[in-house]
């Protein structure tokens, strides 16, 4: 895993560091501006992001249990995996890494996954989750690399025509009564507190479409249409609440 680019300050807001040396190195790069009112805490072997608001709770990445564990064991059945056309040699650039569930499913299905995540706190939570996930499938973890960068500029350097670019920007905000997953709510609150919303769907998609990648996959809420000025996808794989829009292009373009 490539440590994130340096930010101001170092390692503030952390109660104890008992995580492995690579994670400790990443922690040193996190400044107060990246955490806002939130804190990082290590409990046992797990790094948590803790909110000052009791109703927001805390957040860690666990790829081994719950939905990630269950779905990871059956990853080849996932619509995401079909949308990305994963076979053994597939290289996916996951340009909106987040908490890594999708990268994990892709890697467990056999893809090599280059994960790009802009927010250093999210990147370190994911790095910690990947470190612990080695006990379940170390080969899948070895197929994942993680970089803390802005994908919009990073994708400009992508030269691999056989790569798949995958995008899953944060969904548009919903009414309070309909707020989704508590973990994504906490993530959205962290972004708002640290002025890192940055989920620029048009910018991300334009950067992805400008690469030579033969396939670009975008995850969106099922009922939310794409903005008019975005090129129509080649096809969609729709489910109950989400759909995958796929732009598929011949290799020579
Ligand atoms: C909805 S989450 C992705 C969830 C992820 N697919 C998962 O399975 O956990 C969106 C993530 O994309 C990241 N992101 C948004 N714009 C980005 C950019 N330009 N470069 C890198 N990461 C970006 C956000 O920081 C956020 O963590």
Domain boundaries, the chain: 21-248
Say what the pTM is: 0.90
Inter-CA distances, 89 with 112, 163, 242, Å:
7, 10, 26
Which H or E run contains 237?
Answer: strand 235-238
Q: Is 152 in the pocket of ligand 1 (CB under 6 A)?
A: yes
Q: Is 117 in the pocket of ligand 1 (CB under 6 A)?
A: yes
Which H or E element spans position 35? helix 32-35
pLDDT band for 5, please (50, 70, 90 cuts). very low
User: Quick one: average pLDDT of 31-54?
Assistant: 90
- Structure tokens that stand for 173 in this block: 């905000």
Residues with Cβ within 8 Å of residue 93, at least 6 apart in sequence: 113, 114, 116, 151, 155, 158, 163, 164, 165, 166, 213
The mean pLDDT value for 110-125 works out to 95
pLDDT value of residue 173 = 64
CA distance 83 to 175: 29
What's the chain's average pLDDT? 86
Residue 129's pLDDT is: 95
3-state secondary structure of 22: helix
150 lines ligand 1 (CB under 6 A): yes
Does the pLDDT value for residue 12 go beyond 60?
no
- Mutation pick for ligand 1 pocket among 199, 204, 208 (CB with most ligand atoms within 8 Å): 199
* Residue 56: predicted pLDDT: 86
Largest pairwise CA distance in the chain:
53
The predicted model gives 171-179 an average pLDDT of 56
Least confident stretch, 63-77, 211-225, 232-246: 63-77
Closest-lying ligand 1 atom to the alpha carbon of residue 126: 9
pLDDT at 3 exceeding the cut of 80: no
Residue in 169, 179, 181 to alter for ligand 1 test, most ligand atoms within 8 A of Cβ = 169
Reported residue count of the chain is 253
Q: Which atom of ligand 1 is nearest to the CA of 151?
A: 20
From 54, 56, 44, select the one nearest 15 (Cα to Cα).
44
pLDDT of 50 reads 94
Domain range 21-248, its CATH number among 3.30.390.30, 1.10.760.10, 3.40.50.150, 3.30.420.40: 3.40.50.150
């Amino acid at each position: 895993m490539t440590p994130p680019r340096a930010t101001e300050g170092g390692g503030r807001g952390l109660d104890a560091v008992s995580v492995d040396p690579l994670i400790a190195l990443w922690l040193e790069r996190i400044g107060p501006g990246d955490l806002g009112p939130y804190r990082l805490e290590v409990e046992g072997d797990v790094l948590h992001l803790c909110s000052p608001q009791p109703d927001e709770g805390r957040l860690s990445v666990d790829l081994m249990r719950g939905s990630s564990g269950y779905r990871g064991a059956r990853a080849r059945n996932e619509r995401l995996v079909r949308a990305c056309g994963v076979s053994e040699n597939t290289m996916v650039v996951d340009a909106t890494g987040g908490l890594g569930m999708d990268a994990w499913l892709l890697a467990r299905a056999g893809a090599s996954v280059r994960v790009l995540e802009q927010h250093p706190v999210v990147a370190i939570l994911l790095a910690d989750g990947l470190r612990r996930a080695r006990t379940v499938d170390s080969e899948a973890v070895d197929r994942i690399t993680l970089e803390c960068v802005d994908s919009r500029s990073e994708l400009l350097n992508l030269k691999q025509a056989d790569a798949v670019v995958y995008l899953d920007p944060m969904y548009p905000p919903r009414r309070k009564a309909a707020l989704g997953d508590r973990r994504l709510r906490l993530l959205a609150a962290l972004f708002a507190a640290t002025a890192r919303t940055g989920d620029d769907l048009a910018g991300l998609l334009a950067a992805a479409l400008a690469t030579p990648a033969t396939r670009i996959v975008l995850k969106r809420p099922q009922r939310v249409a794409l903005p008019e000025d975005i090129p129509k996808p080649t096809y969609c794989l729709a489910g109950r609440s989400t759909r995958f829009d796929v732009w598929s292009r011949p290799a020579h373009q």
